[in-house]
Amino acid sequence: MPNVSLFSALAAAPAAQVSILINDRPFTVPDYMTVAAALLSVGITQLRETPVSNAPRAPFCMMGACFECLVEIDGVPNQQACMTLVQPGMTIRSMIGARSLK
Amino acid sequence: MSMIHVDLLIIGAGPAGMSCAIQAREAGLDVLLLDENRQPGGQIYRSVAHSPLADPDLLGKDYTAGAALVKRFLASGATYWPGTLAWQITRDRQVSFTRNGVNAGSGQIQARALVIANGAQERPVPFPGWTLPGVMGIGAAQTLLKSAALLPSQRVVLAGSGPLLYLFAWQLIRSGSAVAAILDTTPRANRFPALRYLLSALRAPGYLLKGMGLLKTIRGSSIPHIQHVESLAAQGQGAVESVRYSVAGREAQIDSDLLLVHQGVIPNVQLTRSLGCEHRWDDMQLCWRPELDEWGQTSQTGIYVAGDGGGIDGAKVAELSGALTALQIGQQLGFFTDTVRDTEARPLKRQLNSHRAIRPFLDTLYRPADIFRRPSDPTIVCRCEEVSAGDIRAMSRLGCTGPNQTKSFSRCGMGPCQGRMCGITVGEILAEAAHAPMQKVGYYRIRPPIKPVQLIDLANAYVPDANAAPLEAFVPK
């Protein structure tokens, strides 16, 4: 998928930057972003595939209600990307289908 | 797991929760406020005290004014736990929580009184293609602007109805964003019935003038504002590529990779439902609301709702209702007499009534069109389990009379969102099919935990530390 972001950064106040890994690719984003905001800002619009039909999905409500932005964060599946702030070194992966029971 | 004891526990740090905490602290109650977000403000004042924007004034004065309330709240002496999810509340006011960040762990709180101030969510508006990546709520895009300084890139289409549609268009114009079109779905037929409430709406301070100001800016811009849009569909392979709509029966299409939609907001009733509080269907606001007395008490003693979680009235009313609820709790817990309560409450109630005077006008004018309430058969209603409107109608023909039956038949409402995105739509489809009132059709039975909790969170339960101050005496082991 091309990295053409649906959202672009507006003039922002100075902020610290953090390095994160998204599906093994490194990105640097401001520390005030949630994981969902970070994904959208770097142009990743599809975060997961549904367990039912493998349909592509992306963040919808950005406030913790819709559960469309579920991703794997630091090895923990089904985390709400919109409710989680980025942390230095965070590893984020798309959720493809249902989580496995390890 | 040991129990933390407080006079007043508040859930949610929006205007209602913050103002409730401030008022209760003035009366001398110990107050603990839990909020799932990392900063106070709720949705309306999200990130207001630490805006990532170089110029937060872009969002308007109504937003930046929230910073003063946040400041008063943080100085109130209330204990504030951000990043904390309250995932179970019992009728005897015991709250189970999981805290992230500082002092991460889980615990239980016994409150003498409990205020649920968890606000509203955008009304889910099913239409063909609404599950495609690239379709989001207008409120969601506004959250990205407030909290992440992100602006929609080119060719964004705004579609829907209601004050937030115009406010966000105004904010985009001020921020220099390119808007391809505003597809206004406000039904023409709403205008005449809304006129009946225009006179009383004039009693509400400032709202109509503010609204006219937003519309004037939109009309003065080069953005096409297409009125009386009757249908909407997002189209594309794997993501939105175009938006189809119709006006007066004629179809048209706009190429766009971002469609932002809005049809008003509805109370977040997960907690009040999980408590078994009485709810009633509000046919004017087209939503469920918990039954509340004049102070915000639910049908469960000592459990209150303040702000939009009790019915949609906006930020000003939320702030006033939070303070009123605190006055009643202060009196009930013996911090002051009913005379003191009533004296303090009188001016607040007067202001509350004048702000509420705008609602019948707004609710009638921006009542969502039927097509968004009860979509066509192929449209997905339950996003989690991918159940369509046609599936619900088929289950109605088989004899399902309520959402708990269709859930058993199809898993509709059983996915991770726990019915937040489909509960009202499923009810409205069943009500129409069976010619039954919504009150009879009902809503999902909501059970705790209201959001998923990990076993490790439970394993990290709080234990008491005898050397620490009372409210800080509980830390993860």
Least confident of A12-21, B257-266, B300-309, B428-437: A12-21
Which of B34, B36, B147, B150 is best to mutate for the A interface (most A CBs within 10 A)? B150
Looking at the structure, tell me whether residues B258 and B291 fall in a common domain.
no
The pLDDT tens digits for B293-307 are 999 999 999 999 999
Structural domain includes residue B350: no
CA-based nearest distance B154→chain A, Å: 8
Looking at the structure, tell me whether residues B71 and B191 fall in a common domain.
no
Task: Retrieve residue B254's tokens.
Answer: 């706009």
A9 touching B, CB under 8 A?
A: yes
CATH code, domain with B17: 3.50.50.60
pLDDT of the residue at B471 = 56
Structural domain includes residue B462: no
Count Cβ–Cβ pairs < 8 Å, chain A vs chain B: 139
Looking at the structure, tell me whether residues B190 and B229 fall in a common domain.
yes
Which of B144, B260, B422 is best to mutate for the A interface (most A CBs within 10 A)? B144
Looking at the structure, tell me whether residues B92 and B111 fall in a common domain.
yes
Structural domain includes residue B192: yes
A12 touching B, CB under 8 A?
A: yes
Domain stop point among B336, B360, B388: B336
Q: How confident is the model at residue B194 (pLDDT cuts 50, 70, 90)?
A: very high
Taking 50 as the threshold, does the pLDDT of residue B33 lie above it?
A: yes
* Calpha distance B234→B414 (Å, rounded): 25
Looking at the structure, tell me whether residues B190 and B285 fall in a common domain.
no
The pLDDT tens digits for B316-375 are 999 999 999 999 999 999 999 999 999 999 999 999 999 999 999 999 999 999 999 999
A35-39 average pLDDT score: 97
Structural domain includes residue B469: no
For B441, residues 6+ apart whose C-beta sits below 8 A from its C-beta are: B401, B402, B403, B427, B430, B431, B434
Looking at the structure, tell me whether residues B130 and B259 fall in a common domain.
yes
Domain stop point among B336, B362, B393: B336
Which of B168, B262, B382, B383 is best to mutate for the A interface (most A CBs within 10 A)? B383
* Calpha distance B238→B243 (Å, rounded): 14
Spatial contact of B273 and B233, defined as CB atoms under 8 Å apart = no
| Closest chain B CA to residue A11 | B54
Looking at the structure, tell me whether residues B244 and B141 fall in a common domain.
yes
CA dihedral B407, B410, B416, B419 (to 10 degrees): -40
Domain limits for position B412: 374-441
Structural domain includes residue B311: yes
A67-75 average pLDDT score: 96
Query: What is the number of structural domains in chain B?
Result: 3
Q: How confident is the model at residue B3 (pLDDT cuts 50, 70, 90)?
A: confident
pLDDT of the residue at B361 = 98
Looking at the structure, tell me whether residues B105 and B55 fall in a common domain.
yes
| Closest chain B CA to residue A29 | B148
Looking at the structure, tell me whether residues B100 and B150 fall in a common domain.
no
The letter for the amino acid at B199 is L
CA-based nearest distance B27→chain A, Å: 32
| Closest chain B CA to residue A46 | B133
Domain stop point among B226, B245, B263: B263
CATH code, domain with B429: 1.10.10.1100
Long-range contacts of B341-350 (CB under 8 A, 24+ apart): B348/B320, B348/B323, B348/B324, B349/B324
| Closest chain B CA to residue A5 | B153
Spatial contact of B271 and B93, defined as CB atoms under 8 Å apart = no
For the domain bounded by A17-96, which CATH number is listed? Answer: 3.10.20.740
